[in-house]
Amino acid sequence: MTEVTAPVFKSGFMVLHGNRLEDLRDLLSEFLRAQPLPPLVPEVILVQSNGMKHWLEMALADDAALGICAATRLELPSGYLWQVYRSVLGAETVPAHMPFDKSHLVWRLVRLLPVLADSQPV
């Protein structure tokens, strides 16, 4: 009689998509239980929006899933890719923050307001 074991996945990039968020949450929590990372190594999960990030944190912390949401980094794809570019191309080549980050973009727009206010007819 042969014993069936769960496949061991190496670290890498996995894409999960579906229509039911609860099913995706259950699949993710089962995967995290079956394939835990070493201690102090965060699991990086890319999500499509900040709302999805907060929902997933709460959903993973639910008793029906993991019971706690720890050692996870939920990030938006753009910010994650920027950090990948920075690690591959070097910190001296790629700035620490994207030029169109929300916090930087606000100040760019504020600097434009006086010019735009002067050019608009009353």
Residue-range domains of the chain with CATH: 1-75 (3.40.50.10930)
Per residue in 9-66, pLDDT tens?
Answer: 666 788 888 889 889 999 999 988 888 888 889 999 999 999 999 999 999 999 888 8
Which are the contacts of 35, defined by CB distance < 8 A and separation ≥ 6?
8, 9
pTM comes to: 0.70
State how far Cα 13 lies from the chain centre: 13
Per residue in 88-113, pLDDT tens?
Answer: 999 899 888 887 777 777 887 888 88
